[in-house]
Structure 1
Amino acid sequence: MKISVALIDDEPFALVRIKKLLQVDEEIQIIGEASGVEDAVKVMKFKRPEIIFLDVKMPDGTGFDILTRLDPDYKPYVIFITAFDNYALKAFEYNAIDYVLKPFENSRFFKVVERAKEFITLSRSSRITEQISALINQEDNVPYEDEKCQIKIIERGWDIFIDHQDILMIESNGNYSKIHSGNKFYLYKKTMKELESELNNSEFLRIHRSYIINLNLIKEIKYLGKNEYAFEMMNSSKITSGRSFSSKIKSYLSFKIGSK
């Protein structure tokens, strides 16, 4: 996901230079520009960029006038780029992450951009972790109770019936699958693909080419970055998801968080 940026400066040459410097970074997407307070407020309101490169003085006011008019729940990362060095203290009172004086070297600018990107990455990871924690602890996350949903396993001549709600996870084992239940596992003569199609997808999720987990028996989820998640199950076993399954995991988390 790209990092959204807005440029607020009344100097055309400054806007052009900043834009060119940002365009070399594939992680950055410029979604708005403005040369005055009123236009900038509109950009902030309707586009809500994550990072703002902001000049101090403009024809119809100052960069601080823009910041005071932002929605209370909207807190972008602000980088002041200005020719005036006497506003630095005030800028940091507005939680600016940096204050760059014109004229500036390209190396100084790129250093600031990298610092801002680090802030964004940490912020996004923190939000995901908070959402996951809320999801795991929500009161309506109840076990699947249909006792008719069972897997029949024949072991040493005995028929063993395992309720779906008692399956902790399923692990790939060639043409077989390992059904983990309690402190035991059972070999089952079906592939992961077959089981995935048979299980209730609101109760089970394939997070790796080798693992399907019971969503009701998750103890904790952590986002590791780079489209990987760490799942800790109720028996304290830990599984790291496969990157190719990240879209399924994100869809599940988005659905659950959205239905709270």
Structure 2
Amino acid sequence: MITCLIIDDEPFARDELATQLAEAPDIEIVGQCGNAIEAMQAITRLQPDLVFLDIQMPRISGMELIAMLDPATMPRVVFVTAFDEFAVQAFDRHAFDYLLKPVDEQRLQQTLEKVRRDLRPQAVTALAPSRLEHLPCYSGQKLKVVAVKEVEYVFSDLSGVHVATAGEQVHTHMTLKVIEEKTPLVRCHRQYLVAPGAIAEIEVLEAGAELTTRAGARVPVSRRYLKPLKQLFGFH
């Protein structure tokens, strides 16, 4: 059974595609998402084999969502788009496949046949933006879109990955590795990333160091990352 997730901000489009997919006996729809934050949570939790992803979504686009995923666990992605065929050609060679809206039944069947034949990983991250402007986060039942420029630091512990701004601390399903690669945040500790602009002072200690953010938070700095962090500000 091939598990799939449908991601589209238009409920009608999701339902229509789900109805078409329901006719395939070997395709199991494990969920539907209306935005990128819900999608991040669902992909992490459900680990689908296949994702049908709308490119044009509000706040965080389908392409930005791709940039937020860990390439090592990337599902196969079929882009669903209203772009014309000429625009689609620009990313056709990177995607597993694409569908134009409204989705044609015969074209969908061709995509499913391709999925059944080919289960190799794909390099769709070549399409993703190199830098992220937002992080998809959540706090309890609230879904939040946090601007990267508002983030002071990010850290991980046994309960997951946490994003701290000057005013609140929320959670994200993104990994520290992807956040480090896709944002200006820098590593200061094995479990911490910090925004250089949020650093107010660095205190050197016997076993490493500790920095204070402009909002007053205390963040550990390990010996390994102390020198490059000091050099970032011109200290030797």
Pick 1 or 2: higher relative contact order, CA cutoff 8 A, min separation 6.
Answer: 2
Of structures 1 and 2, the larger Rg is shown by 1
